[in-house]
Amino acid sequence: MTLTRGGRLEAMDAVMAALNQSVDVDRELWREDIAGSIAHARGLVAAGVLTGAEAAELEAGLRRVAGEIERGELAWDPALEDVHMNVEARLVELVGDAGRKLHTARSRNDQVATDLRLWCRARGRETLAAVRELAVVILDVAEREIDVLMPAYTHLQRGQPSRLSHHLLAWQEGLGRDHGRLCDALARLDECPLGSGAAAGTGFALDREATARALGFGRATRNSLDATASRDFLMELASALAILGVHLSRIGEELVLWSSSEWGFVALSDAFTTSSSMMPQKKNPDVAELVRGKAAVLVGCATTLLVLEKGLAFGYGRDLQEDKRPIFDAFHHALLSVRALSGAIATARFERARLEGALRGGHLVATDVADWLAARGMPFRSAHHVVGALVRRAEEQGVDVSELSAAARAEVHPELGAPEIAAVLDARAAVERRAVVGGPARARVVEALAEARERWGAPSP
């Protein structure tokens, strides 16, 4: 049975029918579609279109359809094109003519726009919870490893002494912005399109604000044309998820590097690694590599949605049938990535000896020596030049700058032979000197942890 051809059109070509159907994708929206239909039926009672008895019959029928779908009993029919017509056709089979009245004052245009917003709202909240969980895992590890030092890197080169917890908190800061972007996107989609009709509303006296409240929206959409034809809420969500994916990919990249034999900073648990089909000794950081790969998918989903709408005039176009797979995929891959990294980080072992051992190469206290000279009145640019010569001398001797003798330092510049410079050359002392807001000194990191826990609503375990 086909309900969407009407009385005007003749039979559809088979190829066109295959192109036209979307139920294999949009049946994901069945819960939202049924919820919207129940709310619409109640609205039709208030508008005087349905009796209370008819609405009750429709609601019972819709709930029966929901049960059949939940149990896998409903056979989805591509000839009925989409989730809306499949649900309606089964409803008509169950309740007869009352089911045919349900579509009064409604188009599939406002119906699917409502379904999508409901679905995105639920998945968005689920993703927010998952991002928070990952952030809290990172905070827990940072708190546990508070006294472990490591280099801070620029250009993947060792730069200055720092603290592992400070580095982990940098991961968490990006996730905080991701959380905020998703919250903002969810706030902007908090409008209900139902009652907007195909493009120009309906002549029936629907109370759209009441329907919006019944579905948990903050308000009804303000313009029926915009409500049915715009998908910027999908673009915004997909963009936020793509940025989240990039942050997850950067974390993944560091886990790949840190877990390599060359770095040895972290050991991932067996539960989040794989071996090689050929090399039995291998333990591969596949969780991190797969998350890096998912970031490409997320960027692609956002790009698809942006390109999809860019050529549309205002008013619904069938191109929008393709808006569902990218947003479904984006949420699926984002959630999978967040949860996988949560498990991987929670079960990882950070190697203190390797992390702190990396402080002994790379002349990491060179900046501290330049700062010390500057504090004694030497212009920083001059101090920078002097310390550069000091590093060169250390490299000539094959040692770290902190290992040069006082005599060797004094040969570069007399002030560098002073006994008090010994404290400047100590990496742990150098970290503690970095006590500015946002720095890696222990007290500052403890403050940052407390502030982050308050922000995420996650007290210390």
The residues annotated as belonging to the active site are: 155, 276
By the 8 A CB rule, do 272 and 343 touch? Answer: yes
HSE-up of residue 273 (Cα within 13 Å, Cβ side): 19
Closest listed residue to residue 42, CA positions, set 30, 57, 29, 32: 57
Cα–Cα distance measured from residue 247 to residue 253, given in angstroms and rounded to the nearest whole number: 10
By the 8 A CB rule, do 299 and 326 touch? Answer: no
Length of the chain: 461
| Backbone phi, psi, residue 438, to 5° | 85, 5
Cα–Cα distance measured from residue 162 to residue 408, given in angstroms and rounded to the nearest whole number: 27
Closest listed residue to residue 400, CA positions, set 362, 440, 354: 362
Which run of H or E residues covers position 267?
strand 266-267
By the 8 A CB rule, do 338 and 127 touch? Answer: yes
Cα–Cα distance measured from residue 109 to residue 113, given in angstroms and rounded to the nearest whole number: 6
Strand 219-220 to strand 191-192: parallel, antiparallel, or no bridges (unpaired)?
parallel
The residue type found at 66 is A
Cα–Cα distance measured from residue 364 to residue 158, given in angstroms and rounded to the nearest whole number: 7
423 to each of 221, 361, 376, how far by Cα in Å?
65, 18, 15
- Cα of 371 vs its chain's centroid, Å: 40
Cα–Cα distance measured from residue 108 to residue 200, given in angstroms and rounded to the nearest whole number: 13
Closest listed residue to residue 330, CA positions, set 115, 84, 114, 127: 127
Cα–Cα distance measured from residue 10 to residue 282, given in angstroms and rounded to the nearest whole number: 62
